Amino acid sequence: MFKIVEKRKLAENIFEMKIAAERVARAALPGQFVIVRANEGGERIPLTIADYDVEQGTVTIVTQTIGHSTKKICALEVGDSLADFAGPLGRPSEFVHMPLEELKNRKYLFVAGGVGTAPVYPQVKWLHEHGVTADVIIGAKTKGMLIYIDEMSKVGNVHIATDDGSEGYHGMVTGLIKELVEGEGRKYDECVCIGPMIMMKFVCLTTKAWDLQTTVSLNALMVDGTGMCGACRVSVGGKTLFTCVDGPEFDGHKVDFDEAIRRQGMYKNQEREASDKHEHKCNCYGK
């Protein structure tokens, strides 16, 4: 069992938890993920690591209450335990293997959307700890949905975009990217984008015009997390790869996003049925 040692609400239906998982914390690197189960018999949920502390032996996850299983996770409180917390899994971000001198000469732009801001944070933090300060765009629909602003500002140069203009740039993150690159003349060696699938698609279309290398994380496609279920198949450069074992990060200019978006919606009916059954049980017990 893996105890929850801290919990806080980041935004509506979005919660951060620190989990006591010493072995995972020692081995974790930016870009990797864990498999979480709320209880015995529960669904396996892949969650990208949002932070890790080797000294404290903790790993941080951020979960949004989208379906039945994520609601069960978010309902747990400090002192409760998760049944499973397996990891780290997946391939770490490529920059962690670069020679330090080469890394220090590179300019990075990170684009984070919604809950995708959480897995961007350990990457920006790791770069900062190794002498590289990146530009970071954090986007959300509205001010109240922005997360990790304070944390990210300590390790990177933060730029904010909201769809409704309630904070920072008024518009999509793609517009702010154009403002930085074309308006301010900023030069980057790589863009790393993590967020909703549709956002990553249009960020890649934007950066492709400048031939700017763009890395995306397709963690939202994963189900089993081990490559056995095949649900996270994705076409990258015409090849079929598995997000959980070959990724979760890929060359965004080679990803077939239309296929990935279709695949992401495959299990909506099953999720709806699971939620309906849970609600029915709760109503019955309440009578």
Question: Above 70 in pLDDT, residue 224?
Answer: no
Show the domain range for 202.
102-217
107 with 71, same domain: the answer is no
Looking at the structure, tell me whether residues 140 and 211 fall in a common domain: yes
CATH, residue 26: 2.40.30.10
- Residues 70 and 149 occupy one common structural domain: no
The domain that holds 171 is classified in CATH as 3.40.50.80
Query: What local confidence, expressed as pLDDT, does residue 233 receive?
Result: 81
Co-location of 116 and 81 in the same domain: no
The answer to whether residues 67 and 156 belong to one domain is no
Across 209-244, b (16+ Cβ under 10 Å) vs e yields: eeebebbbbbbbbbbebbbeeebbbbbbeeeebbbb
Q: So what's the pLDDT on residue 279?
A: 46
Count of structural domains within the chain: 2
Q: Give the pLDDT band of residue 262 (cuts 50, 70, 90).
A: confident
Residue 225 confidence class, pLDDT cut points 50, 70, 90: low
Q: Which residue has the tokens 């941080």?
A: 60
Residue 206 pLDDT: 97
Residue 58 lies in a domain: yes
Q: Is residue 171 part of a domain?
A: yes
Residue ending a domain, choose from 36, 66, 89: 89
Matching residue, tokens 């790393």: 192
Helices 257-264 and 197-208, axial angle in degrees (round to 10): 180
Instruction: Flag whether pLDDT at 36 surpasses 80.
Output: yes
Sign of CA dihedral 52, 56, 62, 65: positive
Span 149-170, average pLDDT: 96
Q: Residue 233 domain-assigned?
A: no
Same domain flag for 62 and 117: no
Is residue 197 included in any domain, yes or no?
A: yes
- For residues 46 and 116, membership in a common domain is answered with no
Six-digit token string for 55: 């000294």
> Minimal CA–CA distance to 192: which of 25, 30, 29?
30
58 and 161 share one domain: no
CA dist list (Å): 268 to 66, 169, 234, 265, 271: 11, 33, 18, 6, 5
Q: What is the pTM of this model?
A: 0.87
